Amino acid sequence: MNKILLTSLSFILTVICFDTFAQQLATIKGTVITSNGKPAAFISIGLKDKGLGNTTDDNGNFTIHRVKPGTYILKASAVGIQSSEKTISIVAGEVKIVNFTLVENDQALQDVTIAGKNNRYKIGLPSASLRLNEPLLEAPQNIQTVTNQAIKDQQIISMSDGLIRNVSGAVRVEHWGDLYTNITMRGSQIQAMRNGFNVVSSFWGPLTEDMSFVDHIEFVKGPAGFMLGNGDPSGLYNVVTKKPTGFNRGEVSFTLGSFDLYRTTVDFDHKLTSDGKLLFRLNAAVQNKGSFRPYEQNDRYSFAPVLSYQITDKTKLTAEYTFQNAKMTEVGSYYIFSPTGYATYPREATMTQPGLPATRINDQSLFLNLQHSFNDNWKLTAQAAYFKYDQVGNSSWPSAVNANGTIIRNVAIWDAASTMKLAQLFINGQAETGAIHHRILAGFDGGKKNYMADWGQSHNLDLASSPFDLNSPNYGFPANGYPNFDRTTPLAQRAINAGGLMDSKYLSAYAQDELGFFNNKVRLTLAGRYTFVSQSAWGGAAYQAKKVTPRVGLSVSIDENTAVYAVYDQAFTPQSGSIRNGGKVEPITGTNNEIGIKKEWFDGKWNTTLSAYRILKQNELTADPTNTPGQNFSVILGEKRSQGIEFDVRGKITNGLTLIANYAYTDSKVTEVASGVTGINVGDVIPGFAKHVSNAWLTYTLQNGALKGSGISAGFTYLADRATDTWSVGLQKLPNYFKLDGGLFYERPKFKITGNAFNILNKYLFTGSYYQWLNAYYYQAEAPRNYRVSVAYKF
């Protein structure tokens, strides 16, 4: 990989002199609205007879990149409306603003919107929080976006609710229900981000985001730490929240589903001043949700107001507050333990105890974002965030599993509190030096995170003389009574006693220059990051680490719709843990290499991405295979290698037919074992992934007739050669996994009805592992065939 990059760089520098007089490309931006000021979505905007264009988004905005200087006819059109044309002239390096006001009435444009939504599975630009000032096609990185329309069509209500089917290679093995998302990709758990901030405060967080306030989710694969600070080199996901749009509109939706699901959401978007400088948006949701297992609940409500103020023509301030409240059955209630194997009991079997208090969580966050544009080419962004998390609850895990299948159920306290104070300052810019076009990014990241938890108190519900038996369960008053945990002592002191303290402080500075040659057809990215971290875990002593890491990327446009890329990055990921014999914890180091090809098809209606990667990581901590319950010791693995191939396709294949499909092959193994480590061997498979992952979601929308806007959807998820979540392989492997979902929808201008069936084949689906200390298998069953129906009304 290094030789390829160096050879490419030498070639570029050799021929620069022949491109001195090359023209620089320009950009066209604008907004399309109706005669009464409402946004016109899904309008095609293109350069007439040039084959270059785009489609307006939900807010009527559009962007056309890579336009050569000259005079053109810019055309706005859609099936069923009268087209509009404007003659424009554009010069090298210019950002041309062109707006359209269409004369069609709202009814005509609403019909266009209904027909056009079938192509809203594809986004061509990253969010501003990713800091990349370029189309995704040109970025030397594999970035996949799950759009708001896909979320609605698939009736996804939280981050852990089937969303990962839309991204290649993403899996959740041994997940924590709907408490934490914990996504594994490319052989490691990827980092959770929100609006560009790393929001992981402990090994488990953050609380899964409710989809009511989420606009879309960006999955950044591979060496992504450079863009957004500290993170695993396997990648990250970035939750982008809804912001005010400047248009007066709203939507309310109601959802009913199997197992006592009742859910209502409201989205209110409004201009508070007639000049549009002060904008407001409110998203709220409330749900009651049961389970196919008895005695389980997941009741929630969320409240997310956002204010945006245009201070001047060039300066904008946005303030955003999000509150989530959860009332859930204790963590671990969905686990089943058996000495004989997986799926040995009915799906609805449960080991929880009715009468245990629910776990209650309050999760709050505040974002402040200030953007100032110096001119069309340079923009400064300063943002800060404060997160506060409070949890009062329990977790369940058996203290013994007997050979005859009976168990001693144990409930432990899990009270926790977390705060995070985060800040970022960065600048994006474009400049030219001769024939070279520069996209420049530079900035600082800093933060302080504190987490404390009490899991040091536990209580057996059952007695050795009266164990719990799933073959003949008794959910009456438990033989050993209910726990009575000490909550009079302050949590801070209880956390010290339980070894439940974690904290980190970090500061990083970075600079990146993407050099564009030959009319920006060849783009070379040179970057460097300095990172300093001080952190501790499990109440142990703090340690410090610092390092400068480089990043080199190359992206070449074969034509206007095709680009190939390569990226090289060094890993430096500080980590926390406690080693049994008091050894020193070093940061994760290693190298990341990736190559790929991206292509837009049929004027950008759909796109494909094919990538291959190889990640080497040294010094990574992993759970000590000899841990007993209550122990959190780690061992230094040595070295692991993850490599694989990923393919994604998304967008409108033909009129009315849209597709999201992906496949990933992942091979993640131990290549070196550190001295003194037992229970792990060279060649062992890394826990927590599936070697083969494939997904698809196909939607067909009727384009004509009385049922125009109606349609059908269907999708599947297939996992093969699944690895369990622990190093204790046990006697049984996880079987292959296949899930089929599908539904119907009917849409008119003001309302939409959506119905989906999940696990249509009613398969007994589960994920699990083997716990050597208990000599038992444990697994989580997924829901049998179930249904959801939603009605959404726009106002």
Q: Mean pLDDT throughout 714-720? A: 97
Task: Give φ, ψ of 224 to 5 degrees.
Answer: -105, -5
Distance from C-alpha of 184 to C-alpha of 429, rounded to nearest angstrom: 34
Indicate the residue type of 336. Answer: I
- pLDDT tens for 175-209 read 677 888 889 999 888 889 999 999 988 777 788 99
Look at residue 73 and give its three-state secondary structure. strand
**CA–CA distance, 156 with 217 (Å, rounded to integer):** 12
Average pLDDT of the chain is 87
Spatial neighbors of 117 by CB under 8 A, at least 6 apart, are 42, 149, 701, 747
* 75 bridge partner residues: 46, 85
Do residues 138 and 124 make contact, with C-beta atoms less than 8 angstroms apart? no
pLDDT of amino acid 321 = 98
Listed in sequence order, the DSSP H helices in 598-646 are none
CA–CA–CA angle 766, 769, 774 (5° rounding): 125
Q: Residue 517 is encoded by which pair of tokens?
A: 């040659």
Residue 23: per-residue pLDDT = 46
- Domain architecture of the chain: domains with CATH: 26-104 (2.60.40.1120), 114-241 (2.170.130.10), 249-794 (2.40.170.20)
What b-and-e string marks burial along 568-600, b requiring 16 or more CB atoms within 10 Å of the CB? bbbbbbbbbbbbeeeeebebbbbbbbbbbebbb
Let me know: does 710 contact 739? Beta carbons within 8 Å.
Answer: no
Q: Which of 314, 346, 400, 412 is nearest to 630 (CA)?
A: 412
Q: Return the residue matching tokens 């994760």.
A: 588
Please tell me the predicted confidence (pLDDT) of residue 189. 85
List % helix, strand, coil for the chain (3-state, nearest 5). 10, 55, 40
Q: Which of 236, 209, 205, 208 is nearest to 502 (CA)?
A: 205
Three-class secondary structure of residue 454 per DSSP: strand
Query: CA 98: distance to chain centroid?
Result: 33
Asked if 668 and 689 count as a contact pair (C-beta separation under 8 A), the reply is yes
pLDDT at 396: 93
pLDDT category at 113 given cuts 50, 70, 90 is low
Summarize pLDDT for 619-646 with one digit per residue, the tens: 777 777 777 766 767 777 788 899 999 9
What is the predicted pLDDT for the residue at 564? 97
pLDDT tens figures, 489-545 = 999 999 999 989 989 899 999 999 999 999 899 999 999 989 898 888 777 777 888
**22 pLDDT tier (thresholds 50, 70, 90):** very low
Per-residue model confidence (pLDDT) at position 560: 86
Find out whether 107 and 749 touch, Cβ atoms under 8 Å. Answer: yes
Which of 255-264, 581-590, 687-696 has the lowest average pLDDT? 581-590
The rounded distance, in Å, linking the Cα atoms of 708 and 107 is 13
pTM of the model: 0.86
The predicted structure's pLDDT at residue 16: 36
What is the pLDDT at residue 282? Answer: 98
d(CA 478, CA 466): 9
Tokens of 668: 């993640």
Question: What is the average pLDDT across 284-301?
Answer: 96
Whole-number Å distance between alpha carbons of 410 and 414:
13
Q: 6-10, 101-105, 525-529, 562-566: which range is least confident on average?
A: 6-10
Contact at 8 Å (CB) between 772 and 625?
Answer: yes
For residue 413, count other CB atoms closer than 10 A to its CB: 23
Residue 77 to residues 47, 57, 85, 231, 513, Cα–Cα distance (Å): 11, 14, 9, 43, 37
**Maximal CA-CA distance, the chain:** 89
